[in-house]
Chain A
Amino acid sequence: AQSVTQLDSQVPVFEEAPVELRCNYSSSVSVYLFWYVQYPNQGLQLLLKYLSGSTLVKGINGFEAEFNKSQTSFHLRKPSVHISDTAEYFCAVSGGATNKLIFGTGTLLAVQP
């Protein structure tokens, strides 16, 4: 069975500082990995995805993530955050026969001025 762990439920950071949101997964098959962002009172929006190829994936709004197979991780990074990045971020994995998405519990990124 697949699972996703986001160890940090909340990450406070000052504006213009770098940030890393951690995501670890477990799976017995090849996986596809995703980061979604949810702004207050909105649905989920795809931030970036890893399907194959280069392990460094660039997404929208200046975010990027690196797939590390040996560490089973897919951490999300941004070199300089803005107040508008305040949102909840979800890591997700899919793969196997049904290709269902399995979500982590989310990390709230709180950017302070």
Chain B
Amino acid sequence: DVKVTQSSRYLVKRTGEKVFLECVQDMDHENMFWYRQDPGLGLRLIYFSYDVKMKEKGDIPEGYSVSREKKERFSLILESASTNQTSMYLCASRTPGRNEQYFGPGTRLTVT
């Protein structure tokens, strides 16, 4: 079975802090994704990566950056956290040519 893990289930940070969310997958998937999930809005794509050191902006990249130095790890960075970034963050991975994505358990981030 594919396993996608995220470094924290719950995280509380202060406004202005730099925040790192880590995601690791164990199935050698080339593609990885970061989404945020908000009530009534569903999942929205922040960034995705086709392969190591490759990244592309999704639909809502403002205020976020990403890093993919190794194939199994995809990090989401909030350079200066703000209260409107309080949300559930979900990481996913996929093999190219297959359409389904496999999701991690999510990180619920609260910025105070």
A63 interface residue (CB < 8 Å to B)? no
Contact partner of B100 among A9, A46, A100, A104, CB < 8 A? A46
Number of A-B contacts defined by CB within 8 Å:
44
Q: Which one of A41, A44, A99 contacts B90 once the chains associate, using CB atoms below 8 Å?
A: A44
**Contact of A103 with B100 at beta-carbon distance under 8 Å, contacts A42-B105, A42-B106, A43-B4 already known:** no
- On chain B, the number of residues with a Cβ less than 8 Å from chain A's Cβ atoms is 21
A74 within 8 A of B: no
Q: Nearest chain A CB to B93's CB is how many angstroms away?
A: 12
* From B33, B42, B104, contact of A90 by CB (8 A): B42
* A interface secondary structure, majority: loop
Asked if A100 and B99 make an inter-chain contact with CB atoms under 8 angstroms apart, the answer reads no
How far, in angstroms, from A7 to B101 measured CA to CA in the complex?
24
Nearest B residue (CB) for A100: B45
Chain A proximity mask over B15-51: 1 for CB below 8 Å, otherwise 0: 0000000000000000001000000111111001000
**Subset of 20 A-B contacts with CB under 8 Å:** A41-B9, A41-B106, A43-B103, A43-B104, A43-B106, A44-B43, A44-B92, A45-B103, A46-B100, A90-B42, A90-B43, A94-B99, A99-B99, A100-B58, A101-B45, A101-B99, A104-B42, A105-B41, A105-B42, A106-B42
Residues of B within 8 A of A (CB): 4, 9, 33, 40-45, 48, 58, 90, 92, 99-106
